[in-house]
Amino acid sequence: MRQEILLTLTEQIRKGIQILKAGGTVAYPTDTVYGLGADAFNKRAVEKIYEIKGRPRQSAFPLLLANSNQVADVASSVSEIAWLLMSHFWPGGLTLVLPKGINLPDYLSYGDATVAVRIPNHPVPLALIKGLGSPLIGTSANISGQPSALTAKEVKIQLGGRISLTIDGGRCPGGVESTIIDVTRKTPKIQRQGLIPREEIERVLGINLGE
């Protein structure tokens, strides 16, 4: 039975990679909540994500990476603090806001000078990114302003037939979205409290981040 379930998930991932390469959209489980993804370097595919979610164009999407080597493809620089946080919390539920790379398409930042990235601690998005060969849009699979989806069923209730595929990988273990921290400033600032507690980040950095 376990082998059959694994094979079914493998087939879903394979189909998801094909869809992403063709410019489609895929919902997938992560270590936090279900994500809604597209090839980050396909402008039309990214536009579909905005339409599906009803998200304002000035709100750029975070990107999911498969490994830290891909950071250089999207960010112009990485501070010592950023590397320290990566070494402790990646893969995992921490999203880092970094200076945007000069070659990053404008539609991924909409005038902002930064890009938000993370490496998820979940085999499904990692397999999708590796199969696609480029970063994956890593926004939550829900309508903007609505609760995040923790199961494939919850994704389908909100998004229905608007997306090409929903990969059913069971309930997401994290249950909440990632913590977002801006490391482009001298003193890092938590932009959204999520899966990684503030206290853990402060312990690693050895500083008080304030409120």
pLDDT number for residue 109: 85
What parts of the chain have a pLDDT lower than 50?
1-6
pLDDT at 169: 95
pLDDT value, residue 7: 52
Burial profile 67-92: b = 16 or more Cβ within 10 angstroms, e = fewer: eeebbebbbeebbebbeebbeebbbb
Write the CATH number of the domain with boundaries 2-205.
3.90.870.10
Closest CA to 121 of 74, 168, 178, 188: 178
pLDDT at 211: 62
| ∠ CA 165-173-115, rounded to 5° | 70
Scan for tokens 């990053």, then name that residue. Answer: 104
pLDDT score of 15: 96
Q: What is the largest CA-CA distance in the chain?
A: 52
Every domain of the chain and the residues it spans: 2-205
Q: What angle do CA 29, 33, 37 make, to 5 degrees?
A: 60
From start to end of 102-150, where are the E strands?
A: 114-118, 136-137, 139-140
